[in-house]
Amino acid sequence: MANSFAAALAVDTLAEESITTLGPVLGMLDNFSLDVALAPMAPGNTVQVEVVSGGATAQTNPSSYTSNSDSTKIARAVTVNQHSISFKVTQAELNSGHRLRSLLRKNLQVIGTACRDAIFAPITVANYGAAVLDSTVAAFDASDLQTVWAGCKEFPTRHLILDGAWYSKLLPTNADSFLPGQAGAYGFDSIGVNNRWDGAEDDTIGFCGSSDSLAIASGEAIMDDEIQDLLSFYEPVELPGGLSAYLSSWTDLGTRTRYMNISVMLGAAVGDGTAGAIITDGT
């Protein structure tokens, strides 16, 4: 029989921990184009994410309200992969909210790293062109944001993400300074921090893009019904940024060991390549 108490405790704890653990990592996804597939997918499946790169034509004193009404849309093929982590859970950890919370938090950090690498994989010169700014952390200051903003002035929106070392140079030094996270700070729609760029172009430490510059897809991994019936529980958990993780648990009867698994189906591709810009580290 499925352990409903354990399932409820684990799912609630994972949901709570995801806000603080993955919020800074995945919360930025709210700023970009996200498509959630309705049907379960196999790893490696492709999702067509619609990116709107241009609106319809504005008219003055129109004689027809249906003509010139087509927006410009791009269908981006995004390959979705299953990012998964399995870990053992002792009975003591399962019965203790504190121990279970610590275990889930650490494994969320690991799965969050894999998700972040997948999200930033499209951030390359081939997709977005030469860097809009190339600056060492020692030389970087708030005035460099003028260069970034000027290079992105034609973007419909400007969401800036910076490595923490560069971001720290923007932190307020007095009560009159901007707080970088404020909406509209330095003229950007948002400014976020990201400390891992392994999936992106070498030397990348920042990205500025409109909502349509990145195309991101997510969904549920396909699973055989008979396999799912053998699991102690299999529950979706909402993550920051509109994503969902799937938390499952099962027991190896041979060793009487309980396992848990966190899986996220996720992929990303360039959206509108003319609405994104890379920032590099000056090396």
pLDDT tens digit string along 81-136?
Answer: 999 999 888 777 666 656 777 788 888 888 888 888 898 899 999 999 999 999 99
Q: Are 33 and 212 in contact (CB under 8 A)?
A: yes
- 3-state SS track over 37-51: CCCCECCCCEEEEEE
Could you give the percent of the chain with pLDDT greater than 90?
A: 28
* pLDDT tens digits, one per residue of 219-236: 888 888 888 888 888 888
Q: H-helix or E-strand containing 76?
A: strand 72-79
Q: Are 148 and 277 in contact (CB under 8 A)?
A: yes
With 0-12 / 13-18 / 19 or more C-beta atoms within 10 angstroms meaning exposed / middle / buried, residue 200 is buried
Residue predicted with more confidence, 44 or 4: 44
Q: What is the mean pLDDT of residues 151-162?
A: 94
Which of 2-16, 38-52, 148-162 is the least confident region? 2-16
pLDDT for residue 53: 64
d(CA 117, CA 281) in angstroms, rounded, equals 18
Residue 134, helix vs strand vs coil: strand
pLDDT band of 2, cuts 50, 70, 90: very low
Q: For residue 267, give the amino acid letter.
A: G
- Second-level CATH architecture of 4-51+76-280: Alpha-Beta Complex (3.90)
Q: What is the DSSP string of 199-238?
A: TSSTTEEEEEE-TTSEEEEEE-B---HHHHHHSSEEEEEE
Helices (H), the chain: 4-21, 23-26, 91-95, 97-120, 125-128, 144-151, 164-167, 225-230
Residue predicted with more confidence, 85 or 37: 85
Asked if residue 25 has pLDDT above 90, the reply is no
Residue predicted with more confidence, 3 or 184: 184
Q: What is the mean pLDDT of residues 179-205?
A: 84
Asked if residue 1 has pLDDT above 50, the reply is no
d(CA 81, CA 84) in angstroms, rounded, equals 9
Asked if residue 30 has pLDDT above 90, the reply is no
Q: Are 84 and 261 in contact (CB under 8 A)?
A: yes
The pairing of strands 190-193 and 159-162 is: parallel
Which of 43-47, 99-103, 210-214, 244-248 is the least confident region? 99-103
Q: Are 250 and 13 in contact (CB under 8 A)?
A: no
Q: Are 84 and 263 in contact (CB under 8 A)?
A: yes
82: how many CB neighbours lie within 10 A of its CB?
Answer: 20
Print burial letters for 130-159: b (CB count within 10 Å at least 16), e (below 16).
ebbbbbeeeebeeebbeebbebbeebebbb
182: Cβ contacts below 8 Å, ≥ 6 apart: none
Hunting for tokens 């938090």 — which residue is that? 105
280: Cβ contacts below 8 Å, ≥ 6 apart: 131, 133, 134, 135, 201, 203, 204, 205, 206
Length of the chain counted residue by residue: 283
Residue predicted with more confidence, 9 or 184: 184
